[in-house]
């Protein structure tokens, strides 16, 4: 970038602004990668890949509205998904997680089976992790 700035005779302010923009972009990308790794979300379950025609009671718009209610989530409110097997609850949960990650919100994916296993182990060991 320094070579480009010299060859194009950039003003110092422009050079500094471009450097700051590059650094901010790099930090944002690094944060997203770290959050994605920490989230343990399964790969390939995005909202645009879900077929809302297969279910009743929830729409794409409703899910997008929930994702945009970041303040409620930061206050500790949860989003619970219930339904019969095979309807795509996990897909929707992951899609919500990915959408929140894009907004730099920390997400942690886990299944109810995993929670039950940990609760059973905690009871057996009389210790809660």
4: phi then psi, degrees, rounded to nearest 5: -65, -40
User: What's residue 33's pLDDT?
Assistant: 94
User: What's residue 78's pLDDT?
Assistant: 81
The residue assigned the tokens 């770290």 is 34
Report residues of the chain scoring pLDDT below 50.
Answer: none
* Token representation of residue 73: 């989530």
DSSP state of 42: P
User: What's residue 7's pLDDT?
Assistant: 93
C-alpha to C-alpha distance for 91 and 60, rounded to whole angstroms: 13
User: What's residue 47's pLDDT?
Assistant: 87
User: What's residue 16's pLDDT?
Assistant: 95
* Token representation of residue 12: 């110092």
C-alpha to C-alpha distance for 25 and 93, rounded to whole angstroms: 28
User: What's residue 76's pLDDT?
Assistant: 82
Secondary structure class of 16 (helix, strand, coil): helix
């Amino acid at each position: 970038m320094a070579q480009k700035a010299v060859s194009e005779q950039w003003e110092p302010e422009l050079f500094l602004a471009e450097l700051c923009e590059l650094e901010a972009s790099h930090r944002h990308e690094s944060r997203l990668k770290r959050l994605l790794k920490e989230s343990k979300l399964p790969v390939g379950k995005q909202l645009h890949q879900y077929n809302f025609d297969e279910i009743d009671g929830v729409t794409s718009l409703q899910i997008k509205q929930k994702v945009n209610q970041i303040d409620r989530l930061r206050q500790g409110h949860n989003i619970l998904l219930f339904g019969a097997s095979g309807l795509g609850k996990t897909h929707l949960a992951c899609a919500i997680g990915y959408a929140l990650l894009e907004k730099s919100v920390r997400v942690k994916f886990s299944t109810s089976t995993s929670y039950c296993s940990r609760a059973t182990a905690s009871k057996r060991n009389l210790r809660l992790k």
